[in-house]
Amino acid sequence: MKIVLEHVTKRYPNRNRKIKTEVIAASDLNFEIPDGQLIGLLGPSGCGKSTTLNLISGLEPPTEGRIYFGETDVTDLPPEKRGVGLVFQNYALYPHLTALQNIMFPLQNLKGENRPSKQQMEERAVETAKLVQIDQLLERRPKEMSGGQQQRVAIARALVKRPGVLLLDEPLSNLDARLRLQTREEIRRIQRETGITTVFVTHDQEEAMSISDSIVVMKDGAVHQIGKPQNVYDDPVNLFVAKFLGTPPINVFTGEVKNGSLSIGEEAVLRVPGAPDGEVSVGIRPEGFVPDENGAFGCGLDRVEIMGRDTSVVFTHPLMENEQGRAVISAELAAGLSGDKVRFSLKPNKTHLFGPDGERIRFDI
């Protein structure tokens, strides 16, 4: 089922009653999630991504705007009538019930004709448990399971009613690093097998990029960019998105465009035809640096870190936002680096210009 948000806004009254202004948790959200896709809602904490999820689930009503599932307007429907499954950040498994009882709980709420027989309920619960591969642990209580297993029970509980939409709130944040990798593959597999439209919230860009069909980057309650992970990474619309995506992060310098030429400090580092003259922020991805004795861009060399497949060069530059920058280059190219200076030439498609307001300035490559 596709999900459409139209001008959705959520405002809260301020906690501190003396302050009359309202807190805007989500402002004018407009996007469409196509049927059967896995979408990552991504942003720093407090950006409104959990609010967005709650708006979709119906736990919170929007202040303005409409929400559609398929062609149906669900804005005024209570959560249980929307047909969503929600996995909570802390899983919210009922501690006094076994895994099987937890998974069966939503089915036992059904009434009238929809209510399956006791045997059918159990069959469906076991079937769902098999899908998430916890059918061996059905008699255990949440306390007797690991975090990853609890997570799977929570997903099974959300899926057992065969909802049209699956929502996951920070599904991996309570797991350790190794389990996180494993579980995200698992979520991807379950989503593929069921073909269910899935939205998950995360603050970890790597997590979002690795398994999503599309990502929605949010900040301060507003959507900044929507797109395929690779496209968003390669073509950020503003400085925030550019900085938020990518590890190691993008390196940001202050520079100036004059007559179609970009200079950082005294050095003219790149031809940027089509860009208007003026002060700019220059974002260069770590893989945008090519060590080159005759390169146009000179930096101080701090150290070279060898990581096997490739090498990262830690450099310094007076006009850089952070104290140190990082370039990732192939190991062969790193062989010649020594001393305390290094020169790079820049890849134009890995170099992005941003105006003083943070908006992207495009140039012809």
Partner 1 sequence: MKKQNLKAWLYLLPAIAFLGVFMVYPLFDVVIYSLEEGYNSASQSFFGVGLYNFSYVLHDPYFLQAVKNTLILVVITVPVSTGLALLISLGLNSIKTLKNLYQTVYFLPYVTNTLAVGLVFMILFKKTAYSDGLINLLINFFGGRSVDFIGGPYWAKMMVMCIYTVWIVLPFKILILTGSLASVNQDYYNAAKIDGTSKWRTFWRITLPLISPMLFYLIITGFIGAFKAYSDAVALFGVDLNAAGMNTIVGYVYDMLYGNSGGYPSYASAAALILFSIVFTITCVNLRTRKRLQF
Footprint of partner 1 (CB under 8 A): 57-59, 78-81, 84-86, 88, 90, 92, 94-96, 105-106, 108-110, 141, 143, 157, 161
Q: Of 19 and 110, which CB lies nearer to partner 1 in the complex structure? A: 110
Q: Of 95 and 339, which CB lies nearer to partner 1 in the complex structure? A: 95
CB of 41 to partner 1, least distance (A): 18
Q: How open is the CA angle 342-345-349, to the nearest 5 degrees?
A: 135
Strand 72-73 and strand 64-69: the pairing is antiparallel
Q: Of 85 and 236, which CB lies nearer to partner 1 in the complex structure? A: 85
CB of 10 to partner 1, least distance (A): 16
CB of 198 to partner 1, least distance (A): 15
Q: Of 140 and 271, which CB lies nearer to partner 1 in the complex structure? A: 140
Q: How open is the CA angle 284-285-286, to the nearest 5 degrees?
A: 115
> In the sheet that 251-258 helps form, which strands lie side by side, from edge to edge?
267-271, 261-264, 251-258, 278-284, 351-354, 360-361
CB of 56 to partner 1, least distance (A): 11
> In the sheet that 22-33 helps form, which strands lie side by side, from edge to edge?
22-33, 3-13, 64-69, 72-73
CB of 137 to partner 1, least distance (A): 16
Q: Of 84 and 320, which CB lies nearer to partner 1 in the complex structure? A: 84
Q: Of 34 and 78, which CB lies nearer to partner 1 in the complex structure? A: 78
Q: Of 84 and 342, which CB lies nearer to partner 1 in the complex structure? A: 84
CB of 92 to partner 1, least distance (A): 4
Q: How far apart are the first and last CA of the chain?
A: 40
Instruction: Please give the Cα distance from 326 to 315 (Å, whole number).
Output: 6
Q: Of 26 and 104, which CB lies nearer to partner 1 in the complex structure? A: 104
Instruction: Please give the Cα distance from 344 to 294 (Å, whole number).
Output: 8
Q: Of 124 and 161, which CB lies nearer to partner 1 in the complex structure? A: 161
Instruction: Please give the Cα distance from 234 to 64 (Å, whole number).
Output: 33
**Is there a contact between 60 and 79 (Cβ–Cβ < 8 Å)?**
no
CB of 42 to partner 1, least distance (A): 22
CB of 187 to partner 1, least distance (A): 18
Instruction: Please give the Cα distance from 348 to 352 (Å, whole number).
Output: 8
CB of 164 to partner 1, least distance (A): 13
Burial (CB count <10 Å: 0-12, 13-18, 19+), residue 220: middle
**Is there a contact between 278 and 256 (Cβ–Cβ < 8 Å)?**
yes
What CA–CA distances, in Å, run from 210 to 8, 116, 184?
28, 38, 8
Establish whether the linkage from the previous residue to 248 is cis, with ω within 30° of 0.
Answer: yes
